[in-house]
Copies of this chain bind each other. A is one copy, B any other.
């Protein structure tokens, strides 16, 4: 504590994290909001947020916040951007760092229902959240789209076994455009990260559609390597 001359107590600020959680199911891309439990804006929808504590770094704070509000655990999150407008939080100066994650919605829904302050919304129909959260979400969506074209994606969002149709719909809902069935399948197969199973899924037709899963090793390798797709 000898060097504090350049370090001015008065400039200390509160730092928060806000988590943008994307999920996916039959209906398309979803986003998870919580009902804010305290004033101001109590009762309104909000990203999962909370304050950074002295004993943790930002990633730890994001993990803790997500867990405490939703019960979700072991979710890999990625830091996105820091928001620092002076009045962004009307109560006191707060800087917020956004994190985002993709999760397999079905896998986690049971846990989620216990704490029902959290709720999934179809991405296109989500209510306007508080503060600058809408801005955060827009940036996250741009990031998600970029990721979809440069790294394999789906392992975190789809059930373990999935059909080509689901995979294609996932990409369509992220990129917000229709994709050609044959081209999509050919393209995705060229990545060589899928394993075709014997099993068929019969929920959407009696003929059944073959199920696939990711070859996790190849998937991770491809993730590190990256690519440059047009879809």
Taking beta carbons and an 8 Å cutoff, which residues of A are in contact with B?
1-8, 10-15, 38-40, 51-59, 79, 81-82, 84-86, 91-95, 97, 149, 228, 230
Contacts and interface: CB of A to CB of B under 8 A. Distances in A.
A82 B82 contact: yes
29 contacts: A1-B91, A1-B92, A2-B39, A3-B38, A3-B91, A4-B91, A4-B92, A6-B38, A7-B14, A7-B51, A10-B54, A11-B14, A11-B15, A11-B52, A12-B13, A13-B15, A13-B52, A15-B84, A15-B95, A52-B84, A55-B86, A56-B86, A57-B85, A57-B86, A59-B84, A82-B82, A82-B97, A84-B97, A149-B228
A12 B7 CA distance: 13
Nearest to A50: B6
Give how many copies assemble into the complex.
2
B84 A58 contact: yes
Contacts of A4: 91-92
Nearest to A97: B82
A228 B39 CA distance: 45
Given A39-B3, A82-B79, A86-B57, A11 B51 contact: yes
Contacts of A79: 81-82
Contacts of A230: 228
